[in-house]
Structure formats: C-alpha cells, structure tokens
Structure 1
Amino acid sequence: MARFPKNDIISLTSAHPRYDLAESYGPNLRLGDLLAGAPDLASLSLGYGTAEGDQRLRHVIAEMHGVGPDEVVVTVGGAHALFLLAFILCGPGDCGQGGEAITTTPLFPQARSALEAVGTAIRTVPLSFDQGYRPSLDEFGALLSPRTKLVSLASPQNPSGVALDQAMLRRLLGLMTEVCPDAYLLVDETYREAAYGGDPAAPSAVAIGQKVVAISSLSKAHGAPGLRLGWAITHDPALREQLVLGRFNTVISGSPLDEALALALLTRREPILAGRRAQLAAGLERTARWIETQGQFVEWVRPDAGALCCIRLKPDRFDETAVARFRAELANEDIRLADGAWFGDEPHVFRLGFGLLPMPELETALAGLTRALTQAAG
C-alpha cells in the first residue's frame, strides 16, 4: 500500500497554544474584511465550478503575474498544486524509467511529501544555517542529469524566509536546458508578496523562462489559509491541460464560495497587503531586537520576506540535553515554535513566526522565550 509520509508538522492543525510562534503567516483575515467587496453571496450558486477555476479569478491572477489567464490553473491551496505537479511530472510512468526530482533541505514538508507519495527518486541540495540557507549553483549542477524531470524550489523559502537570487535561477534554468531540457523548474512563491513595510515584492520567477512553473496561494502573504485557494502558472499548454485534468480527477472543481471570496480579496489586494506588510515589518524588527538581547543564547538568519525566520540555539551553550530542556520549557510557557526537524534542519534550529500574534502578545511570547532559554541553559 502506498502511504503518505508522516511529519509532526501536522500538529499545527491541532489545538493551538496560548502563544503560537510556530505559524508562518498572519494575521488572519476575517470574513467581514472581504464581504464588502464580494458579490451578493446570497445569490451565489453552489453548483460545480470549472475545472480550471473561475475565469474572472484567473484574469486577476494573470494580471498580477504578467501572463495570460489561459496560463493559470486554480488549485485547492498551494499544496494541491505541489501534488499535481509531482504526480504529472514525476509519477509512476516516469519513475519506472528512472525519472528524478531535485529539491533542497530544509524545506516545507509537503513539498517533499508530494514527491515521496508518487514514488519519485529525490536528490537533495543541502542548505545550511551557517551559509544563510543560500544554495550553490554548483551543487545543483552536480545533481542534474538526463533523468531529471523536476527541480522543485521555493522563494522565499520555508522555514527560513530567504529568497533565491533571480540571476541564480536564470543560470540554473540554463544548466537544465543543457542537461535535462525536458525538465521543469518549479518555484513556490507563497511568501513572495509578504514584503516588509514599503519594501517592494520580488518579481515572479514565471518570467524567467518557458520551463518555469510558479505556484502560490492566499494562505501566507494574504492571510486567508481557510479559503484553500492556490494556483499554478505555466507557459506550457500541454502541462496546463494536465493540471486541469489533474484538478478534475482529484477535486472535480473548486468551491464557488472560496473562489468568489478569493476574487474579492485579490481585487482589494493592495490595501490589504499594505496593512499586513506594516505589521510584518513591526514584527520583524521586534524579533530582531529580541535576538540582539539574547545573543548569548541564540542566533538567526534574517529573512527576506514572510512572517517567519530561523533561529538557532547556540551549540556552545546548548547540548542535546539542554535542547530537550528548552522544548520542555516552551511547553511550560504555553509557547510553540516549529521544530527544525519538521523541515529536515539541524536539531538546534527552530522556525519562529512573528506575524500571527498582535504586538502585545508577541512581546509577551518573546519574554516567555527568554525565560525558557535562561532555564534551559542552566
């Protein structure tokens, strides 16, 4: 029996602690924030939608990325897009012929799980805290082969929030053209628009080349994970057709209600994002000040975008026993951090989310983290 791999990140969908610093988004939008710009929902038909997604919604997403609406396929969240692409490009048909996928570690568990679930061979480029989670083009080049079907990346990355350099992505695509011209470069851009304050959002990677597939969702930058709305963008008509067929054969269509609310959100995205970016900037700077005051215990990699960052308990202050004590102290403080092991990172690393809690609660949570560090360090 084929099985989906288990990962303890599923605990994020269970009961929430008082101070949840494990989540990588925030704050949540509320339904009332969207109703003023939504159509008359009382008259909304709850029949099946279209397999490719609502046409008006696809037009708005296309305009956001400078592509045509026929290059957009709406999915049930970004995770659905990840699974469909893994199945289509690296599924059983290709696996029997030696097809491979290349990705990184640490990374979002579902990105790897989608590849594992379809049985593809996975080759991994390791990213490290000490190198700021910046990948080496040479390491990708060493793994590429004629068997490569997919290179799956994220920018900004989860759990680090570090963005990939567009020039590096262009060079990587050039290497792929030479070594594995039929392969696709997938870039998960879920955090791309979660910029800080007045910082501009990075451009989408979809413009880099014909073999690039960009995916995103409303879950992170826009604060609407409950809508379960994502999308995939491809310039390849054959791949788009397979994505539409894959959507039909897995979920038939999306929820008309989700798609109507998503349209209302994206037509008002600039003011919504502006307010959220201001809060992310405040959370980032407060976290930076906390890191500075706790420099004897922790270090971090400052993120490029998103409501998340990686912190590391300093190995010279925390052995394995002290790391375990820190986890226990977090529970005593009713605080949750995301364990680096969920993403394939080293045991001393945790993902800290600074965007979900209101500022007074973030202050309280950081004070609790300070107590946990002090108690664990001994």
Structure 2
Amino acid sequence: MKILARRLMVADSKVIVGSLFMPEILARLSSPLSAFSRDIMGKLQSKIRSRPSKYRAEEENPPSKTVLQYSPAHGDAVASVASLPPDLCLSGGKDKTVVVYNWRCGTVVRRFLGHEREVTKVTGFPHSNWLFSASRDKTVLLWQLHGTLGPAQCFSGHDLVVTGLAASPAFRQLCTGSRDNTVCLWDIETGDCLHRAPISRNLVTHLCWIPGEPYVIQTSEDKAVRIWDTRELQVAHCFPAKQHIQTSCDVSSDGHYCVSSSSGFGGEGCEATLWDLRQTRSSIREFRGHFQTTASCIFLPKCLTTFPTIATSSHDGTIKLWSQDTGACLTTTCLEGSGPLPSLSASETGGLLCASSNSGIHLLRVSSAKGLELLEVAKF
C-alpha cells in the first residue's frame, strides 16, 4: 500500500508540473524565431548532417570513367573507319590522309598521303595487305599495309565525289559509287573498269558486299535500297522506297539480312530498317529512337553479344544498340562534344570503333556485367 501511494504522489506531481509549465512551452514554440526553436532545429539539423549517407556520397562522387586519350589519328573530322584484325583501325578524314592505327598501343602504324581532297570512305580485306580509300577528288586509291607509302593502284573514272566503296576478297573486285549517279566495278589487280552502270538520280551514299556472293547492297539519296548483281552490274532488286534519304547499309555475316539507315531531323525519319534478303517484298522492322540523321548502321559480330544485335550512330552524338529480333533499344551511349558520328565498325577483339566530326575516333567495349551497355575506353 505504501508503494502504491508513493507512485500516485509522483504521478500527481508530474501532472501538476506539466500543467504549470505547458503554457510557457507552448508560448516558446509558437514564436517562430525564438531562441528555443532555433536551438531545437539546430540540434536536429546537426544530427541529420552527422549521419553518413551512401546515396549522398554516390551523388557527390560519381564513379569515375577512365577514358584513355591517345595521340590523335587525324587533325580534323574523321569520315570513315574500318576494323582490321586483330587490333588495327583504318580511317580517313577531312585532312586527306588515310591512317592505320593500333588502338591497343595508341600509335600510328601507317599514314598514307595521296588524295588531293578529303577522304570519304575506307575499307580493307580482312587479314590482307590491301587497303582502299575513296575521296572527294573523284578517285579510289589502293594501299599496301606492308609496302611502300605511295598508292599501289588508282581507280579513276567517276565524275564526282566517290561516296560508296565495297571490296570482295572472294572475287578480288572493287565496287564504287558516286554522286555522279553511277556504280562501277573494277578489277583490283589491273585497275580496269569492268562495268559502269548509271541510274538517274541515284546519288550513292554507301555500298556493302554480301559475303561470298556476287551481290552488292547500295543506298542512295533517292531513298532507295538496291541489290546489284555484279556479274553484269545490273539491279537485281530494289526494295520499296523509304520516306527519307538512305545513308548507310550493312549485311549480316550469314548474308540473310540487310540493315539501312535514314536521314531525318527532330525524330522524324532517323530510323534504321531491317530487310530480309530472302523475302524482299517489304521490311521486317524499324529501329526508332535517334533524333537526328542516323548516319551508320552495322550488325555486331556474335562474339560481342549473345543474341543478334544492331548498332547505329547518329548526328545527335549517340550510339544505340538494338535487338535485331524485337527492335527494342538495349542501350544508348552519348559521346559528349563529338558532333555527328558518321561511321561505325566492329572489331571481333576490341569492340566498337566510331568516327566523329569533332573528337577523333572513339573505342567502345560492349559489356554485359550490368545488362548490355557500351563503355568508352579510349579515343584517338
């Protein structure tokens, strides 16, 4: 009983004290700038600041991305790149030079001089000594990777800038296209023009050879994608015309599919289109997501991804990877300050090479560690 009485007395005293001092506490709290409220808020803020936050640390110190900066391959805009196994990059640009660059070492292997105007396209035979370059000087030159620095052969016959270039190791022939509305077929060893085919308004933008076949795919400013039979250099098929200029094309390694890219602006046009070369009546699907002209499109080698993938680059400064089967965009990489990205090439050992108008050549690797993504690792 004594213990219970003592507890009741303590409780009563707390109620009394609380009732006596509550008005004063409320008055202090009701004053927004009182010393009391400032003290309380200051203590709360100091407690919040004293707590470490991993999220805040990640925002203030984002993971650093180390991009190796090698010596530049060119002194101006790069127009075209091509991969040479195992670790070489062939490129040409506005500085009129053709460069073979070792992207593993960051060094120039060969620098060829011979064109009088800027280089527009480059290509080469895999595991071969032959390299080719097209130019605004209306010519195509043959270079030897291991030989003299001067051109080994000159293919002259177009009336305007040469904008299409494709070579076949199987047939040892070269196919070229120009803004003069013609496509030409050449004998590589003699330099002779075997066939010349003019088509009205066929301003050629790109050429690619179907592996192991006597057929060449061609895109044009007349919005058409054509298949040429090189045996007589005649058009074997023309796909339904698109709504915009077709800027580039590529053929899958099995020769079953072709992809072409479109010009455009503000998201209108700017798509890539997948075609089935075995059923040539219409396109299979489109890949939409770029906001300016899609300048280049290529199929990635199977060694880089576990499923069929297409890569595109655009004047909007981005590179996108797409699922060939569904058309879904898998990842987007923005190369800040690069300007238009006119050319892509895939290396079976090094990833993706990308030419830019403002920042040289970029080397990116395809990573699947956190879902499919492109990581820039070097530029030169």
TM-score by length of 2: 0.24
Q: Which has more radius of gyration?
A: 2
More helix by share: 1
More strand by share: 2
